[in-house]
Amino acid sequence: MSAAAIKAAFAAAGSSVKLVVLNACYSEALAGALLPHVGCVVFSVGFYGGLGQRRSVEEAFAQGRAAVRLDDLPDHDRPQLRVRADVDARELVVAAMPSATPSRHAFERTSPSTIPGETAPGASPLPSDAIS
Domain-embedded: residue 92: no
Residue range 23-73, pLDDT digits in tens: 666 666 777 777 777 665 554 556 778 888 889 999 988 888 887 777 676
Largest CA distance in the chain: 78
Question: What is the structure's pLDDT at 23?
Answer: 65
Domain-embedded: residue 56: yes
What mean pLDDT value characterizes the chain? 71
Range of the domain at 51: 13-83
CB 20 within 8 A of CB 9: no
> What is the pTM (predicted TM-score) of this model?
0.51
Domain-embedded: residue 76: yes
Domain-embedded: residue 1: no
Greater confidence, 75 or 109? 75
Domain-embedded: residue 131: no
Question: What is the structure's pLDDT at 113?
Answer: 47
CB 66 within 8 A of CB 47: no
**How many domains, in total, are found in the chain?**
1
